[in-house]
Amino acid sequence: MKRPSYRNILTAEMDTKVEVLREKYYPKKDFIHHIFYDLVRSYLKPNFEILDAGSGPFTNPAYDFGKFVKTIIGIDKDPSVKQNGLLNEAYIGNLDSLPFENNRFDLIFTRYVFEHLTNPIKVVNEFNRVLRPNGIVALMTPCKWSYVCLVSRVTPLRFHKFYKNLRGFDRHSLYPTYYRANSAKTILEIMSLYGFAEDRLILVESDPSYLDFNKVTFLLGVAWERIINKYTFLKGVRNTIIASFIKKKELM
């Protein structure tokens, strides 16, 4: 029988210690996702048809909105979207050329997708086209001025895959990032230009999951999260943008 390596034992011990700290400082797991869930949920009505834009294959119960609406449809360029069990219908396609008729949806939501868009203007224009009057866009995306995104922007994709693999995640699920619409200012400008009015804007720092190598780095991350969420003048570099917009005009 093969004995576990010292490195594996040490890693497991460090993971356990970090998890204890995570439970202490963040008893509400994935609180960022709870904020976004509550935002989307506040808009939903039983007769709504909604679109999960960039849905992927993931069947996270935190986004099981189907029980609150008439229909939930998903689209992603990755064929694995067909595996998403939370969707009534799944389409393979690009967000800048949606295969839906005009004024189809009541709400579009998207999570951690805007950072991957090569042409966010075309995507927002398509959102406007397929949304009904007073339809809603709800989005969650990283802020390009956060420390995580600053590192991401100056490192190649192969480094991101290495880092993700180091943390025990599937490196093959990574996609290139461009951050062309990843500041609150840029998002507000694009959405306004393409017929949307801001409804809610939340800038928040999440738990320091990118620093969970060991107790020291994680605690440093906790300290940073507490400081940056406390002081308003630092809100521009908080790592997560959560926002919603209402369609106010049709575009030609």
Q: What is the pLDDT of residue 163?
A: 64
The answer to the question of residue 210 being in a domain is yes
86-105 pLDDT, tens digit each: 999 999 999 999 999 999 99
Instruction: Identify the CA nearest to 200 among candidates 109, 127, 88, 91.
Output: 109
> Residue 219: beta bridge partners?
none
Rounded Cα–Cα distance for residues 9 and 71 (Å): 47
Parent domain of 15: 6-247
The answer to the question of residue 46 being in a domain is yes
The answer to the question of residue 242 being in a domain is yes
The pLDDT of residue 171 is above 70: no
Tokens encoding 165: 């693999």
Q: What is the pLDDT of residue 62?
A: 73
**Domains of the chain: total:** 1
The answer to the question of residue 252 being in a domain is no
The answer to the question of residue 1 being in a domain is no
194-247 pLDDT, tens digit each: 999 999 999 999 999 888 878 999 999 999 999 999 999 999 999 999 999 999
The pLDDT of residue 21 is above 50: yes
Q: What is the CATH number of the domain that holds 58?
A: 3.40.50.150
Residue 141's φ and ψ, nearest 5 degrees, are -155, 155
Tokens encoding 176: 């290139």
Non-local (6+) Cβ contacts of 80 within 8 A are: 56, 57
The answer to the question of residue 116 being in a domain is yes
How much of the chain exceeds pLDDT 90, in percent? 68
